Amino acid sequence: MRNVLTLIFIVTSSLIALGAYGTSGGQSDELLAAARSGNVETVRRLLDSGMSVETAGPYNMTVLIAAAASGQLEVARLLLERGADPNQREGFHGADPLGMALFRGYPQVAILLLASGADDRAGALEFAIGENNAEIARAAIESGPLYESRLEALKARSAELDPVYQEFIAQARSRPDPEPPTLSAGDLEVYSGAYEGWDSGTTVEVSVQKERLAVSVNGGKPLPLVAVAEDSFRSEDGEIEASFWGRAGTIEGLVIGRGGEQPESMRRNVAKPMGAAAFATKAKNDWIVEEPTVNWPSFRGENATGIGDGVDTLTSWNLETGEGVLWTAELPGLGNSSPVVWGDKVFVTTAVAEGMEQTIRTGLTGAGDGVAEEVMHSWRVLAFDKKTGVKVWDTEVGKGVPLSRRHFKATQANSTPVTDGKHLLVVFPTIGIACLDLDGAIEWQHDLGPLNAGAFNDPGIQWGFAASPILYGSIVILQVDTHGDSYVAAWSLESGEEIWRTERDVSPSWSTPAVLKGEAGDELVVNASTIYAYDPETGRELWSLGPSSAIVIAAPVVGDGVVYLSAGYPPVKPIYVVEAGTRGKLEVDPQSDDERLMWSHGIGGAYMPTPLLYQGLYYIVHHNGRLVAYDAEDGAAIFKSRFSHGGVFTGSPVAVNGKLYLPTEEGYLYVLEAGPEYKEIAFHEFGEPLMATPAVASGVLFFRTPSKLIAIGKD
């Protein structure tokens, strides 16, 4: 039985994975595409030709689930008439057609499914009460009896509900609950482990003891539980209830209720810190950098390290009074790309939509809505004087109506430029890749198509392109992992001629490559659903590594002869550390040590922000506001902390002279002291989202908000 807590999880945690039905090609692909788009005649033709009404793509996303998730009422009706099972579940969330229709906001599809035998009538009634939808509530109780325990729970809270729903509950019939599952000790092991509260200090240890599951809350005595339903357990006295949830066949968390208190949602504990005393590495003096960081040429600076040492930066300033603020420049349009700095100029990209207000939404949400801006856009590159903030030039690289949508947190200008002091390379969806000189003149340009990246190979879910170009000698390299056409390619800086192109069989990704140097030669490391390394001169594959997440955003982080890779989305959320010179195909067990890796963890990888390798520690900033620092040499967790004011993190951290700067979507900026303990130096509020990663050059911090470019430093 999937109770309402599981259904709530489907809503709040990850509707973005509705794209999990990437298909197997041919007619199956055509049938699923027709179901999603509402093409009834194509669906009928393919079914008449002999295709199964239960045709499914990966994760068992059936045609009916695809139609329900897209609100295609007439397609759903045809499929049900042809015998489609309304209770099939896809394998990523365990969601059925009814759950998909409800939470995607298609009530008429949900009502049709209920009338056609959809089983989770209690879940539909609970949803209808929460959304105040009497039509769905009526359909739920008229379609058949509800499981007894679910109905009793509704009756217990009936008095607090609107009289309309009190009457529905009174009219509802009951049926016996299904028999609870019989689980062996081996079956129960999947639930064991440590869990922690989202915002509270609550901890829960789940173990298997004498063929039963047991929970210990906040270090208390383990209390045995009995299985009452699928993924649901209860103590014999009824004081504790635990419902586990997860995606892609994994257990990611639980919802625990204690003694009638409000149930608390918890996630697996990603690390058990050993404390500062366990951090034994180089003396701090060995990390002092004398050479000043003058240029910040690409995303996260030189080779995406995120380090701007050499000249000290401010920790205290006042945006209202202007103290510590060197200048502020207004930015047209909207962009999440980071600024880059070379010499006396700061460069930034943007997309300006004609005749409409451009906005982004922020906050911790799993929704994946696309924003269609079907108006003319101008894709532009702007240069500002580094000292004064005066705009030096503004070049329009291209103009048109976007060929793909963007995620509501993204923009049509997500990719950060890269420069070598002579060439400036920029990438935009719809417009392509362009090379400018540092005076703003376009030297060459190539159309790359819509650059349609989105969920799990489903072209209908579009979130926008975000990989940034990098330079390697005389070539520019771009990772292009998009729907149906993924590749890595290199072009000549001087002529724009394509030098090499390597096709890739990976899901869409939003990562930017990095170059790992070693005795066996340089390696272009590319993070995605399968991790690859290529010869940067030829594109020849050197090694690959898996498994990894279905969605990958964080860039590789390069250290001294090793590369750190992580991803934070199911089915695997790994941290892998690979030494230079590795060769061949590496298929590893993320939960176990592998001698081919320097170290690894099967859980705890970074989702949105790229981690930071700095002064012997590997910092992972989790999207939901948690910081974990690992010893870079052996992977031991040193500390784990939440931030004082919370926050949602998309931009990546940077480091300067022993300080860490960490931006949030709310417009907070945390300044921490680098080291084996969480030490907050300063906290600032910008009043606008900080989606872009800061840039650092000559002791000046450059922050990009949706409307401004801000330089902070000493006069």
Q: For 8-22, 261-275, 585-599, 671-685, which range has the lowest pLDDT when averaged over its residues?
A: 8-22
Dihedral of CA atoms 94, 481, 423, 539 in degrees, nearest 10, equals 130
In this model, does residue 7 exceed pLDDT 60?
no
- 370-391, pLDDT tens digit by residue? 888 899 999 999 999 999 999 9
For the cut 80, the answer to whether the pLDDT of residue 167 exceeds it is: yes
pLDDT at 4 over 50: no
Residue 244 one-letter amino acid: F
pLDDT band at 29, cuts 50/70/90? confident
Dihedral, CA of residue 108, residue 245, residue 243 and residue 109, to nearest 10: 10
Q: Residue 458 has what pLDDT?
A: 67
- The CATH number of the structural domain formed by 185-268 is 2.40.128.50
Residue 25 has pLDDT above 80, yes or no: no
Strand ranges across the sheet with 557-558: 557-558, 562-566, 575-579, 599-601
Per-residue pLDDT band for 281 (boundaries 50, 70, 90) equals: low
77-99 in b/e form (b: 16+ CB < 10 A) is ebbbebebbbebbbbbbbbbbbb
- The mean pLDDT value for 513-528 works out to 97
pLDDT band at 455 (very low <50, low <70, confident <90, very high): confident
The pLDDT of 31-36, averaged and rounded, is 92
444-472: average pLDDT? 90
User: Would the pLDDT of 358 be above 80?
Assistant: yes
Q: Strand 541-546 and strand 584-587: pairing?
A: parallel
Least confident of 26-35, 226-235, 268-277, 450-459: 450-459
Q: Give all strands of the β-sheet with 325-330 in edge-to-edge order.
A: 325-330, 708-712, 700-704, 695-697
User: What are the strands of the beta sheet with 668-673, ordered from one edge?
Assistant: 654-656, 659-663, 668-673, 680-685
145-158: pLDDT as tens digits: 999 999 999 999 99
Whether the pLDDT of residue 24 is over 50: the answer is: no
Q: What is the arithmetic mean of pLDDT over 15-25?
A: 37
**CATH code for residues 276-712:** 2.130.10.10
Cβ atoms of residues 126 and 158 within 8 Å? no
Using 50, 70 and 90 to split pLDDT, how confident is the model at 290?
A: confident
Which superfamily does CATH assign the domain made up of 4-175 to? Ankyrin repeat-containing domain (1.25.40.20)
CB-based burial of residue 49 (10 Å sphere; 0-12 exposed, 13-18 middle, 19+ buried)? Answer: exposed
How many Å apart are CA 469 and CA 480, to the nearest integer?
10
Q: What is the pLDDT of residue 289?
A: 78
Q: Over 60: is that where the pLDDT of 504 sits?
A: yes
- What pLDDT was estimated at residue 238? 87
Domain layout of the chain by residue ranges:
4-175, 185-268, 276-712
CB 425 within 8 A of CB 467: no
**C-alpha distance from residue 76 to each of 62, 101, 528 (Å):** 11, 11, 34
Whether the upstream peptide bond of residue 263 has omega within 30° of 0, thus cis, is: no
Strand order in the sheet with 418-419: 418-419, 423-428, 432-437, 442-446
Q: Does position 19 have pLDDT exceeding 60, yes or no?
A: no
When the pLDDT of each residue in the chain is averaged and rounded to a whole number, the result is 92
pLDDT at residue 500 above 70?
Answer: yes
pLDDT of residue 285: 59
189, 193, 220: which is closest to 206 by C-alpha? 193
Residues 35-59, mean pLDDT to the nearest whole number = 93
Tell if the pTM clears 0.75, that is, is over it.
Answer: yes
Instruction: Calculate the alpha carbon distances from 538 to 304, 492, 509, 512 in Å.
Output: 22, 12, 22, 18
Alpha-carbon gap, residue 145 to 148, rounded angstroms: 9
